[in-house]
Chains A and B, each alone.
Chain A
C-alpha cells in the first residue's frame, strides 16, 4: 500500500472512564487509507470500547478522533455512519425473521431513504429500484445470490457473517470496523471470511478489525495495534508485534483463544 497516503483515521489521546475504571488511557494511533489494521489485546484491554468510541456509540471522555483530518468524536452513530465509518457487531446482528435479500434492502438506508409523502404516494419507485440494484450488487459481492430467498435465521454462521458484512457495505463505508468477524468460525469459514475481507479492501475500503483469532490477524493485517489495560502496548507489522517482549508478557497466562470475548 502507498506509504505516503494521509491517515484516514487518526485517534489522538483518547480517554474513556466508567466510574472509577479507566477503559481507555490516552490511546493514539493512525490508520492509513487502504490498510487492514488488526486491533488485539487480552480481554478487557479496551478494544471494544475503542470501537464504540470511534463509531459514536460512546462519547469519548477526552481526546480526538479524526476521519481524514475531520473531527468526528462526539457525534451520534448515524452521523458518523453517514460520514463513512460503519461498524459490525460481535453478536451477529441481522433480521433473523427476514430473507437475505430483505436484510440487504433494510441496510440500504443511505441509498434509498425516502420522504414521507413520496412513500405514501408511491413516488419512490426509482429510489426503490436503486435500492434493489445496490442490494443485488452486494448479494453477488458477498456470494449469497443462491441463498437470497432464505431466511437469515436458516443460514450457517459463515453466511450470516457474510450477510452482516453485506449490510455494513451497503452503508457505503470508507472505513469498516469489524468486531470479531472470525469468532466461533471453523477453519473453512475463517478462510472464506479472510478472502472476503481482502476483497472488501481491494474495493477501496479501509478496515480495522478486533479479533482474537491470531492466525487470522497475522495472515490478514498489514499492521497490528496491541492494547493492554486501556493503553497502547505495541504497534507494527504482525511479525514485529509477535516478537515484541511486552506483547508476549501481556499474553502470558491469558489465553488468546478465539472463544473469549472482550468484557468491556
Chain B
C-alpha cells in the first residue's frame, strides 16, 4: 500500500520534473546551458560512484575511468573512423572491461589499501595518457574529435550535438535511463547482496556469497556509466587531455557524495545539485571554489555527518521536539 503510493509519487514527480528539465535550456543563456550539461554529467558520475560505495569501497579512480571512456571513444571515432553513435557505447563497455582488468589487483585490497591502490592505479593510467604521445596525444591530449551528428530527413544540415541544446536533451535522456538502471540494480537482489557484502562480509561468505564477484560487478558497472559519461562529454567538448581527470577532480566527486550522503540513492544527486547550484550563484568567486568546497566539507563532516539527505529527518526531529516542548 504504502510503497505503491510512494511509487505513484515518484512517477508524478518525474512527470512534472522531466518536461521542466527538458524545457529549461530554451530559457537559459548559453553559459547556463553549459552549466546544465556539466551538472548532468556530474550526476551520472556521482550516481555511478555510489554503486561502488555500496559494496563498501571508496575508490579514487572513478574520474580516470570517466577519462577512459572519453579517450576510448575519441580514439575509436578519430583514429579508427568509427561512427560516433557506435563508439560511445563501445567506449563505455571498454571502460567496464578496463575496470574488470583493474579489479584483479585492486579488489584484493579492502578499505584503506583499496583507496590508496585505486589512487595509484588511476594516476598510473593518467600518466600513461600523458607519456604516450601516440595514441593518446601526450600532455596536450586529443583535439578535433568528431562530433555526434544525426541526419534527419526534414533537416538540410545534420543535427549537430555540439550545440548545447540538442546535446543537453540527448544527455538528459541518457542520464535518466542510466539513473533508472542504477536504481533498479540497487533495489534488486544484487543490491541486497551488495549491502550484505558491505555490512556483514563474513555472514555473506558464510551463506554462500562470493563477495569478490559482487564487488567486481559493482566496480565494473560503476565504470560502465562513468565511461559512458566520459564518452559523451568528449564529443561535446571536441577535445580531451589528461589534466581533466586529475585527482583534484576526483576529490570533487568525493565531496559531492559525502555532502549529499550515501545512504539513499538520492543523496549523492542532492549533493551534486546543491553544491553545483551554489557554485553557479557564486560564480564571480570561482577562484575560491576549491576552498569553499573544502570549508563546506569540513563543516558538514563536523555538523552534518550523515549528509544533506539526513536534513529533512533532522528538521522533523527538531520540529517535533519544539512542539513537544511547547506543549509540555
Contact = CB atoms under 8 A, between A and B. Distances in A.
- Given a CB threshold of 8 Å, the question of whether A touches B is answered with yes
Interface of A: 55-57, 76-79, 81-82, 86-89, 93-95, 97, 102, 105-107, 109-110, 112-114, 116, 119-120, 122, 124, 127-128, 131, 167-168, 170-171
A66 to B, nearest CB: 19
Interface in B172-196: 181, 184-185, 188-190, 192-193, 195-196
A119 B185 contact: yes
Chain B CB count within 10 A is highest, among A57, A77, A105, for: A77
A238 B102 CA distance: 54
Contact of B202 (A76, A93, A106, A122): A93
B253 to A, nearest CB: 23
A87 B189 contact: no
A77 B206 contact: yes
B221 interface: yes
Interface string B208-236: 11110000010001000000000000000
A168 B208 CA distance: 10
B199 interface: yes
Contacts of A89: 202-203, 206
15 contacts: A57-B205, A77-B205, A78-B210, A81-B205, A81-B207, A94-B203, A106-B193, A109-B196, A109-B209, A119-B185, A119-B189, A124-B188, A128-B189, A170-B207, A171-B208
Given A78-B209, A120-B184, A168-B206, 14 more contacts: A55-B206, A57-B202, A76-B205, A78-B208, A86-B206, A86-B208, A93-B200, A94-B200, A105-B192, A106-B192, A113-B189, A113-B193, A116-B185, A124-B189
Contacts of B195: 95, 106
Given A78-B209, A110-B208, A93 B188 contact: no
Given A95-B196, A105-B192, A114-B190, A81 B206 contact: yes
A109 B200 CA distance: 14
A122 B207 CA distance: 24
A246 B221 CA distance: 58
B208 A81 contact: yes
B207 A110 contact: yes
A131 B200 CA distance: 20
Contacts of B204: 78, 109
* A-B complex: 9 closest residue pairs judged by Cβ atoms: A81-B208, A119-B188, A77-B205, A171-B207, A110-B208, A93-B203, A78-B210, A114-B189, A82-B208
Contact of A122 (B184, B190, B196, B210): B184
A177 B88 CA distance: 51
B324 to A, nearest CB: 22
Interface string B249-288: 0000000000000000000000000000000000000000
A159 to B, nearest CB: 17
Contacts of A78: 204-205, 208-211
Nearest to B187: A119
Contacts of A109: 193, 196, 204, 207-209
B191 to A, nearest CB: 8
Contacts of B192: 102, 105-106
Chain A CB count within 10 A is highest, among B193, B200, B206, B217, for: B206
Contacts of B205: 56-57, 76-78, 81
Contacts of A76: 205, 210
Contacts of A120: 181, 184-185, 188
A77 B189 CA distance: 21
Contacts of A105: 192
Contacts of B185: 116, 119-120
Contacts of B210: 76, 78-79
B190 A116 contact: yes
Nearest to B181: A120
A59 to B, nearest CB: 14
Contact of B207 (A79, A128, A167): A167
A76 B190 CA distance: 20
B225 to A, nearest CB: 12
Contacts of A87: 206
Chain B CB count within 10 A is highest, among A55, A94, A106, A128, for: A106
Contacts of B184: 119-120, 122
A167 B185 CA distance: 23
A56 B192 CA distance: 23
B54 to A, nearest CB: 13
Contacts of B217: 116
A168 B204 CA distance: 10
A128 B190 CA distance: 11
Nearest to A107: B207
B108 to A, nearest CB: 13
Interface in B96-153: none
Interface string B59-100: 000000000000000000000000000000000000000000
A237 B209 CA distance: 36
A79 B213 CA distance: 12
Contacts of A93: 200, 202-203
Nearest to A97: B199
Given A82-B208, A95-B195, A119-B184, A112 B189 contact: yes
Contacts of B209: 78, 109
